[in-house]
Amino acid sequence: MNSFPSLLESISDLDKLQIDALLSLASKFKHRESESTLFTYKRPIIATSFLENSTRTKHSFAIAIQKLGAMYIDFNAETSSLKKGESLEETFLTLFNQGVNLCIFRGSVSHQLSQFRENPPIKLINGGDGVNEHPTQALLDLFTLIEMEPNLEGKTLAIFGDNIHSRVGHSLCKLLPLFGMKVILCGPKHFLPEQKQLPVGVAWSDNRDETLAKCDYIYLLRIQKERHDPEVAASDSIDYHNTFGVTLDQLKRMNKLIPVLHPGPANIGVELDHALIKSSLYKGYEQVQNSIPMRMAIIQSMLVNNDKNIGIINGEKF
């Protein structure tokens, strides 16, 4: 895709045609209908740089990179010159001039990559930034939904949990309405954004049972204790399960045996129970499986976009 961006920070960086192309390519990778044609003369080098902890995102990117046949390096920011005061731009330029073609970056600061929108020092994928967005997770979630139901027009997905801090939730609120889906954010009021801030196609509720009755898919989020006051987080964990947690017995009583998604990590006994995560309704492991072909599709699309303006310093190429 020649038009694919060199900085994927937000779902807003993609149009629907690009997203449709990613879905098609991810499906081909998953069903082994397509092999990478990137590396006929030179294997690209791709780095991950995660300043926050990660299991699913980091490892699935690493596997996707190696399945594409690229060279993979794990850039450890904790032992890098960032600790000596080097700027993020200088770090990325150093990687670029060492021959790294693409970096997947995760950080605790929201919108940290926005500074590179005009002159990307290297091709960049946002692996999650603060409480802003997690676009690749949202794209693999959409891929998972479409594999279950190709036509999502008019369907409703309810996102239960710590919506105000959920970067994937923010990305899903931008992505799913493009495919005709409605989104309901549900949770305690202090976990929800103000209603006036919600985009078109997104609603708000603080009633679990009413929301369950209206939705076709359930998306569960953990309480992000690291972003809350410790005492509030402890109290929320105790009370949350009874008021907003989802259990298999509850869904059976409501005759609401519908797919349950979760980006992980799941906290059993808080947002869901053991019976639900072990049931056929739980699609969290399908999401993990689908993360690899979708991230393969994103990497390949970015690497072949023919952008020649990477690594420019102050408007000049050296």
pLDDT (tens digit per residue) in 234-282: 556 668 999 999 999 999 999 999 999 999 999 999 999 999 999 999 9
CA distance 55 to 170: 20
Cβ–Cβ under 8 Å, residues 168 and 222: no
pLDDT surpassing 50 at residue 318: no
> Which two three-digit tokens encode residue 247?
């259990």
Q: How many CB atoms lie within 10 A of CB 165?
A: 19
Question: Phi and psi dihedrals of 185, rounded to 5?
Answer: -95, 125
- Mean pLDDT calculated for residue range 15-39: 87
Q: How many CB atoms lie within 10 A of CB 318?
A: 7
Please give the model's pTM, rounded to 2 decimal places.
Answer: 0.94
Q: In what order do the strands lie in the sheet with 100-107?
A: 7-8, 123-129, 100-107, 45-50, 71-74
**What does the pLDDT look like over 129-169, one tens digit per residue?**
999 999 999 999 999 999 999 999 999 999 999 999 999 99
Which one, of 145, 201, 153, 159, lies nearest residue 23 by Cα? 145
Quick one: pLDDT at residue 239? 84
Tell the burial category of 159 from Cβ atoms under 10 Å away from its Cβ (0-12, 13-18, 19+). Answer: buried
- Bridge partners (DSSP) listed for residue 308: none
Which one, of 230, 176, 171, lies nearest residue 201 by Cα? 176
Ranges of beta strands (E only) in 3-110 are: 7-8, 45-50, 71-74, 100-107
Quick one: pLDDT at residue 284? 98
Query: Which domains occur in the chain, in start order?
Result: 7-134+289-303 (3.40.50.1370), 137-284 (3.40.50.1370)
